Chain A
Amino acid sequence: MGKILAIALNTFKEAVRNKVLYFLLIFALLIMGFSSVISDLSIAAPEKMVIDLGLGAIDFFGFLISVFVGIYLIYNEMERKTIYTIVSKPIDRQQFILGKYFGLLITVYVNIAIMSIFFFTVLYFREATQPDVVTKAIFKELGPGKFESVGNYYVYHVQAFFIAAGKGIATLFGYWEPITHHLLRVVFMSAMSLAIITAFAILYSTFSTPTLSAVFTFLTFIIGNLCEDILRYADKLAQKAGGVAQLVGPDKMKYWFAMVATHITPNLALLDKFSDAVHGPWDAKTPTIHSVPIDWVVVVYGITYVAGVLSLACLIFNRRNFK
């Protein structure tokens, strides 16, 4: 365990030196900041825009980080031959794979945490700088239509930003307001799906080059996202032919291919709670916020899936010759 941790921490140290990571992170933060501007263009439901874009950015950029950082981790060790010294040490190869996986996961999760804090900060700051809130905060109403200025506009904004940032950090530890209601749960589920994708990135990089690994991981991500659509497509094929038994020729092949593909790739849509965050049913306790239930079966599914993929990665890596 201590050796896995040592490898994981070293992997994290290596990953944070990857420039791609910072480009992706900065881009994600820009998008979140920009979502506030975009929402002003909308004539209704501006919060929906900010939340949609923010959650989407966290998920997608988390994915990109896990791919672009992950595919190089094992490859670099082989290319630079540092793996020689690691393998000759008294550790198992699976300890190495697990160490790399957890190191990458730590990197991805630290980034998700940063993006989430920024996202919550944007939401709280948006809330605090609504014209009515600002006016209430910096003017005192003396009578109908009579106001007295009690605060500075700019000072208020700077203050609001820091308060929002503080609340944003607190939100990561369970604090919430109606605007951020159950968003942390959505992020949690996103993180779960990223754990699966990260495992795939590691799996592919145990036997192929970075470019191919990236392509494979992207394909897995796409098929995983479209899992349910592909299943529906297969069902439609069967329905058209009048039953699975009636399928012939290429249709039969397509059907079974789709069936296999949907059953072995992860169904990432199970872990997608974006829609619930904006349109979900009302919470039973607090009827003004949408409830995002955590489906523990799905969480168990995610964990077992990761374990399975990592076992396969270890199997491949254990038999691998390093030239």
Chain B
Amino acid sequence: MRGSIIRTLILWIFFLGFFGYAVSIQHEELKKVRSNQPFEDNLRLPSSEVLKLTALRYDMVAADLLWIRSIQSFGGRGMTNRDWRPVYDLFDKITDLDPGFEQCYTFGNMVIGDEGGRQKEGLGLINKGMFQFSLLRQYRIPFEGMYVANWQMKDVDKARWYGRIARKRADSPDWVPRIVAYLEVQSGAYYIGFDRFLNNFLLAVDANDIGLQSIALNKLKESVDKWNKSLLNKALDEYTSSTGRLPSRIEDLATMPALKNYEVAEISRLVALCERYLQKLSRPELSDDILTSITLPTQAQMNAPIEDTTNTRNMLGLQNLIFRQCLVKRSGIPEEPNGSHYVLNGTLLGTKPTDERLEVIASENGVREYLQNLLYAFRATIDKRKKELGRTPESLREVFYCDPVTTEPFGGKFQYDPKTGNLRSTSAPDL
């Protein structure tokens, strides 16, 4: 009896000791996995032919599982190394397994083309999908191709080719021909861009995916912003050529022909419409997380009439309706999408900046940021000069050897204090 107790005890000790040690090793290994920075998912899949054979007749199920995997992979890679090449393989294989999976072509193109910057591979996927479906259906796929060609590759001929195919599909809505026509003019790209990201956004709203919603909303804001700025820049050109001088305020441009009775999409209107339709569909409203730094709708916009929604129950089905209602005909200075308003950057006014990021017309926040960067650069130079001289420079001329900037972005002049060596802005003294 005594012996058996001791043996039991020893076995227990053995068990706890060995098992515990094994668990502790496993714990350490798991820690390593967690701290591993780049997203390493195993996507070394066999070729599509082999996959199709091994999946037997259940290739649709296999495609679904890979599709879910691809979404995880997209999220994981987006947060870590942003290496999209393996994801492309994944989408390629999914569409081989289930050629009728339309969303895979468009979503795959968005992941690889938009996020990954590999437009050619994205278009490859689009082409595959285009020829997969009969010529009569799925306008969305060639439409996506048109967007990528025009918006990102700046290849209008290619875009027109995709556009013509999209227009011929039986299910293409009435505005597709209109947008294809816009390809001729510069502003056409904005229509396409807005519609494209609207699609992504509504998809994300339906899926309740906050991350994807905010990505799509940022893209939407960006496209509206570019759209507005293209109009404002046109107006600026008209103003300078007609009056022969530079405008002092942004409001001076409001009377220009470019800003008369033009059509543009508004983010505030989009938010209002989304909220209204979500309410009508009895679905939860948009998350507050994505509604930061955005132009929120006015009460009038919130009360504007909306259309009947009996034909659909998800937001994606309302895309054409929402797109049409987001477009507004107006005159004057357009609405800034990020909750700010447009101003002239006084510093850049009159110059012809070669860098695209230097915008003469920008949002107030953007200009303020520009001013901040400018001040930071100046102060750094002053400090450097101070060390060289061993005293505070007497004037800005002594620092820069010339008068550096005559005008502040918001107007007025920089104030330099020779005693302390402090540089201050008159328009924004807090910076």
Contact = CB atoms under 8 A, between A and B. Distances in A.
A139 B60 contact: no
Interface string A48-65: 110011001001100000
B56 A225 contact: yes
A229 to B, nearest CB: 6
Contact of B279 (A43, A145, A229): A145
Contacts of A278: 60, 100
Given A42-B68, A43-B212, A132 B282 contact: yes
B235 interface: no
Interface in B38-69: 52-53, 56-58, 60-61, 63-64, 67-68
Nearest to B207: A43
B284 A52 contact: no
B103 interface: yes
Interface in B258-280: 279
Contacts of A136: 282
A38 interface: yes
B246 interface: no
Contacts of B60: 52, 56, 274-275, 278
B282 A41 contact: no
A139 B64 contact: no
A24 B61 CA distance: 18
A2 B63 CA distance: 47
Interface residues of A, number: 34
A56 B61 contact: yes
A59 B212 contact: no
Instruction: Give the interface residue-count category, chain B.
Output: 20 to 34
A133 B56 CA distance: 37
A235 interface: no
Contacts of A133: 282
A130 interface: yes
B156 to A, nearest CB: 30
Interface string B82-124: 0000000000000000101101000100000000000000000
B282 A222 contact: no
Interface of B: 52-53, 56-58, 60-61, 63-64, 67-68, 71-72, 98, 100-101, 103, 107, 203-204, 206-207, 209, 212, 279, 281-284, 313
Interface of A: 38, 41-45, 48-49, 52-53, 56, 59-60, 130-133, 135-136, 139, 144-145, 221-222, 225-226, 229, 268-269, 272, 274-275, 278-279
